[in-house]
Amino acid sequence: MVLDKKNVQRLENIEQLPNEDKIHILYTIDNLIKAAKFKNVAAL
């Protein structure tokens, strides 16, 4: 997998945050991904 520069920068920015903020952001991203996957499965 190859990430574009913009997404690499986003991940680096998240990595530089305090641990608590990082945990909240990654939790939110994970749940948004799950919701998008579920939406796609439910549409079938």
- Each of the 44 residues of the chain gets a pLDDT tens digit; together they read 788 999 999 999 999 999 999 999 999 999 999 999 998 888 76
Q: Identify whether 36 is part of a domain.
A: yes
Q: Identify whether 29 is part of a domain.
A: yes
Q: Identify whether 35 is part of a domain.
A: yes
This prediction's pTM: 0.77
Q: Identify whether 8 is part of a domain.
A: no
pLDDT score of 2: 85
Question: Long-range contact list for 2-11, CB < 8 A, 24+ apart?
Answer: none
Q: Identify whether 21 is part of a domain.
A: yes
pLDDT score of 30: 97
Domain count, the chain: 1
Distance CA(21)–CA(15), nearest Å, equals 10
Q: Which domain holds residue 40?
A: 17-44
Question: Looking up tokens 């190859």, which residue turns up?
Answer: 2
Q: Identify whether 42 is part of a domain.
A: yes
Q: Identify whether 26 is part of a domain.
A: yes
